[in-house]
């Protein structure tokens, strides 16, 4: 537990540094996390034989790097998606011209792993790039990590009804509700302290609280989704990069789901604020 707490504290400090710096530094951190997450997913899904790097994995690395570079330099999400189409075509070329080296059941998860690892995480940078993004981007982590903490303690104190008894027997409905309420309250408090003085919009507080609650609901789906993949492939953790937590996918599984949701809700918030 001590190792878990200490490594968690280091993660919070690193997140603070990169989110405050933004720009190139945050883009580089997102790219690095995406590449590691992709590798963890590929190995978990056993796409390549004996988990040795192969053409599908190398194509995935190339596609992720291209996607992130194009997105960060042009700020055009449609061009970024174009890079994913190119990745799809590369993998189909590999599938066809090396046949029968790869099976369709290897090619399809290879593309899924690349998309899952890079696209959702890129919304961290995109949220940071919004107006008031230096504040709004924190809602991604409040909705994920604060929800996780509040759900844990709420579940310990009040948990009676299982949320997903087969997939995650320790999670409870009461814990899930506690996580949503905790994220909404912390989000509202965060907006009151940081965002409201900058925006001077009184609606920002309750809107951000709503965003925090909505993000918390989605974050728990992200957590369970990553757990389901681990159960399907009979592994305990995706990796060992983060002591006490496992791999990038183990610690950022909920962030992958909250990042795009918080981005779009933040865009809506800004439209309401200016409306």
What pLDDT band is residue 10 in, cutting at 50, 70 and 90?
confident
- Which pLDDT score, from 0 to 100, does residue 1 have? 59
The residue behind tokens 């056993």 is 46
Helix residue ranges per DSSP H, 98-170: 104-128, 133-136, 138-141, 147-158
- Which pLDDT score, from 0 to 100, does residue 116 have? 96
What pLDDT band is residue 217 in, cutting at 50, 70 and 90?
very high
Residues in contact with 222: Cβ distance below 8 Å, sequence separation at least 6, in sequence order: 144, 253, 254, 255, 256, 257, 258
What pLDDT band is residue 274 in, cutting at 50, 70 and 90?
low
Q: What value does the mean pLDDT of the chain take?
A: 91
Token pair listed for 263: 């981005």
- Which pLDDT score, from 0 to 100, does residue 182 have? 95
Measure Cα distances from 78 to 82, 84, 85, 97, 157 in Å.
6, 10, 11, 29, 46
Say which range, 9-23, 66-80, 94-108, 207-221, has the weakest mean pLDDT: 9-23
d(CA 219, CA 258): 5
Residues in contact with 49: Cβ distance below 8 Å, sequence separation at least 6, in sequence order: none
Q: Is the model's pLDDT at 269 over the cut of 90?
A: no
Token pair listed for 105: 């059941």
Q: Is the model's pLDDT at 7 over the cut of 70?
A: yes
* Mean pLDDT, residues 100-106 taken together: 93
Give the SS3 label for residue 170.
strand
| Burial class of residue 150 (count of CB atoms within 10 Å of its CB; 0-12, 13-18, 19+) | buried
Cβ atoms 11, 4 nearer than 8 A: no
Q: Is the model's pLDDT at 255 over the cut of 80?
A: yes
pLDDT per position as a tens digit, 27-64 = 999 999 999 999 999 999 999 877 777 999 999 999 99
The residue behind tokens 């400090």 is 13
d(CA 180, CA 190): 15
Q: Which position has the higher pLDDT, 198 or 274?
A: 198
* Mean pLDDT, residues 78-85 taken together: 94
Cβ atoms 134, 85 nearer than 8 A: no
pLDDT per position as a tens digit, 227-245 = 999 999 989 899 888 877 7
């Amino acid at each position: 537990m001590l190792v878990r707490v200490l490594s968690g504290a280091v993660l919070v400090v690193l997140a603070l540094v990169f989110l405050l710096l933004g720009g190139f530094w945050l883009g580089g951190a997102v790219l690095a996390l995406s590449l590691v997450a992709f590798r963890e997913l590929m190995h978990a899904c056993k796409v390549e034989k004996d988990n040795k790097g192969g053409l599908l994995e190398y194509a995935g690395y190339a596609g992720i790097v291209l996607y992130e570079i194009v997105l960060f330099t042009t700020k055009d999400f449609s061009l970024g998606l174009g890079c994913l189409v190119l990745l799809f075509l590369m993998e189909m070329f590999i599938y066809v011209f090396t046949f029968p080296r790869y099976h369709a059941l290897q090619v399809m998860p290879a593309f899924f792993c690349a998309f899952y690892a890079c696209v959702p995480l890129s919304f961290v940078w995109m949220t940071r790039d919004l107006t008031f993004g230096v504040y709004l981007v924190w809602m991604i982590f409040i909705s994920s990590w604060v929800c996780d903490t509040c759900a844990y303690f709420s579940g310990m104190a009040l948990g009676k009804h299982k949320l997903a008894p087969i997939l995650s027997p320790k999670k409870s409905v009461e814990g899930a509700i506690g996580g949503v309420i905790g994220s909404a309250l912390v989000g509202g408090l965060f907006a009151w302290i940081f965002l409201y003085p900058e925006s001077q919009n009184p609606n920002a507080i309750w809107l951000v609280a709503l965003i925090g609650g909505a993000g918390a609901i989605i974050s728990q789906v992200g957590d369970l989704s990553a757990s389901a993949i681990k159960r399907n492939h009979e592994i305990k953790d995706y990796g060992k990069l983060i002591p006490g937590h496992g791999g990038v996918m183990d610690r950022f599984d909920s962030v992958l789901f909250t990042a795009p949701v918080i981005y779009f809700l933040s865009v809506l918030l800004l439209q309401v604020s200016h409306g």
